[in-house]
Amino acid sequence: MTPPRPTALAHQFVREILREGDLAIDATAGNGHDTLMLAARVGESGRVLAIDIQPAAIESARTRIKGAGFENRVDFHLTSHARIAALTAPASASVIMFNLGYLPGGDHALTTDAAETLRALEAALVCLKPGGLLTIVCYPGHAEGADEASAVEKWLQARCGDGWRAAKYAMLGTRAPAPFLLTASRR
């Protein structure tokens, strides 16, 4: 058996806790794969906030959502993921997903930024419900991604003493640095 990709594992964990009527946030909408899964889970009575700084990402995600017939469940926001707290109330989101790096199929020079991501993660902690789930897929295979992955992992480790449970899911023995999943929830 091949271990699941970090994105697939994140989806598995999210499906276990996200319910009809919940609020979920895709902090890095990209091509809309996470947005689509979240919209399917929250159902007609739930909401998804999809955030990205790239117009191409928002359009790609919007097209995917429209194709699935879920446009009434998703609010798209062309802004930084660091603005999460301005888009929703404290302790309102059941799930917040981050899929860092660059837009697949887009300009690989445009990547998420470690400092901006750390601000976004601080805001996410405010927005996450008690018992909610934070997922972060990191891509250390390029210079900016390696710096960001290291910063995010250190940031998350520092939260463990503050009542948060965190985990890292990663492949071992790869030739190049492989993507990995970080998860966190409040105890």
Q: Would you say residue 38 lies in a domain? A: yes
pLDDT (0 to 100) of residue 108: 67
Residues spanned by the domain of 108: 6-186
Low-confidence ranges of the chain (pLDDT < 50): none
Q: Would you say residue 134 lies in a domain? A: yes
pLDDT digits (tens, 9 = 90+) for 143-152: 888 999 999 9
**Tokens representing 83?**
């603005």
Q: Would you say residue 74 lies in a domain? A: yes
pLDDT (0 to 100) of residue 2: 82
Counting the structural domains of the chain, the total is 1
Does the pTM surpass 0.85? The reply is yes
> Is 20 in contact with 45 (CB distance < 8 Å)?
yes
Domain CATH number, residue 11: 3.40.50.150
Q: Would you say residue 28 lies in a domain? A: yes
Cβ count near 86 (within 10 Å): 11
